[in-house]
Amino acid sequence: MKKCFATEFCAVAEPETVNENSELERSNTKLRLAEKIFESANDGIVVTDVDGVIQMANPSFLKTTGYKLEELHGFTMRILKSGQHDKLFYEMMWEAIKETGQWTGEIWNKRKNGEIYPEWLSISAIYDEEGKVILYSSVCRDLSERLKLEEKIRHQAFHDALTGLPNRLLFQDRLEKYLALAKRNQKLLAILFLDLDGFKKINDTLGHDTGDLLLQAVTQRLLLSVRSSDTVARMGGDEFTIVLTEMEKPEEAGVVACKVLTAIGEQFVIAGDAIEVTTSIGISLYPMNGADVQTLMKQADIAMYIAKGSGKNSYHFYSDLD
């Protein structure tokens, strides 16, 4: 019985064709999957040639930078350069890429609208079969929101939630620095310790909401009574402090105290209620009354209680108590 050569050929060739088709289908599936990952990734992904010219960029990268893909045609990644880093920074980056094939770190870049933003950047070299670099891929994560959250947390840790003023912790830190500066420049420094007169009664009769609004209004008047270089802080309750720096004469503290008494003494209108409140102020001076934070704060506090006990709505220097 004769054998059919064509039949034998088909019987042998068919499995190879099936295998080839299966392999091609698997490759196409992988390519489609890679494309979906590239397109849907939350992080920005950009591919450049060996000269840094942008070849591909995913939607997340375009959204972060503000560019359209066609606008990046022919441009290198230098289009994002923010000017926040010196030449040495980029030299060290590329030295690491050449030596290890990758670099990862935090960098400041610039969006199309000119906004400078921080991002976590990871650059990797892509090699051909002979080990030659043919492309670079970069994965970019915008850190703007994270830094905003961190800044918010830091602000909350060092500022009063109601008034936005520095709290006791930040006030003491600033006072330490102001004292060091005053010593170095041989200048005077004053601490004003304020306590509102009759605030508890207002809080009890009109309610805490009105009391809070009053404290916010007092804050604005205090800020308008001092220079931008001075610090106003809320120590808690109805107690405030002011640090006056770069003073030439002790009398300057008295001038500011008078401005504060006048500002606070003017009638407030809170939620339709006319409210009158005054304040008592104690003043301590560096270097006459002390050279450290604790001593000067304690003396300003003592002077404030003397002012309150002397009829309120007045100020006293600690030196007047000697």
Q: Specify whether 312 is located in the same domain as 163.
A: yes
What is the CB neighbour count within 10 angstroms for residue 152? 10
Q: Specify whether 118 is located in the same domain as 230.
A: no
DSSP string, 38-59: HHH-SSEEEEEETT-BEEEE-H
Identify whether the C-beta of residue 318 lies closer than 8 Å to the C-beta of residue 289: yes
CA distance linking residue 284 with residue 317, whole number of Å: 6
Identify whether the C-beta of residue 55 lies closer than 8 Å to the C-beta of residue 137: no
What is the CB neighbour count within 10 angstroms for residue 246? 15
CA distance linking residue 140 with residue 255, whole number of Å: 55
Q: How confident is the model at residue 211, as a pLDDT? A: 94
- pLDDT tens per residue, range 221-237: 999 999 988 999 999 99
What total number of domains does the chain contain?
2
Q: Is the pLDDT of residue 122 over 50?
A: yes
- Model confidence at 320, pLDDT cuts 50, 70, 90, reads low
Q: Domain holding 175: CATH number?
A: 3.30.70.270
Backbone angles phi, psi at 59, to 5 degrees: -55, -35
Q: Domain holding 54: CATH number?
A: 3.30.450.20
Which structural domain, as residue segments, surrounds residue 299?
159-321
- Whole-model pTM: value is 0.66
Classified as helix, coil or strand, 195 is: strand
CA distance linking residue 187 with residue 183, whole number of Å: 7
Question: Which residues carry out catalysis?
Answer: 238
Residue 215 maps to a domain:
yes
- Model confidence at 5, pLDDT cuts 50, 70, 90, reads very low
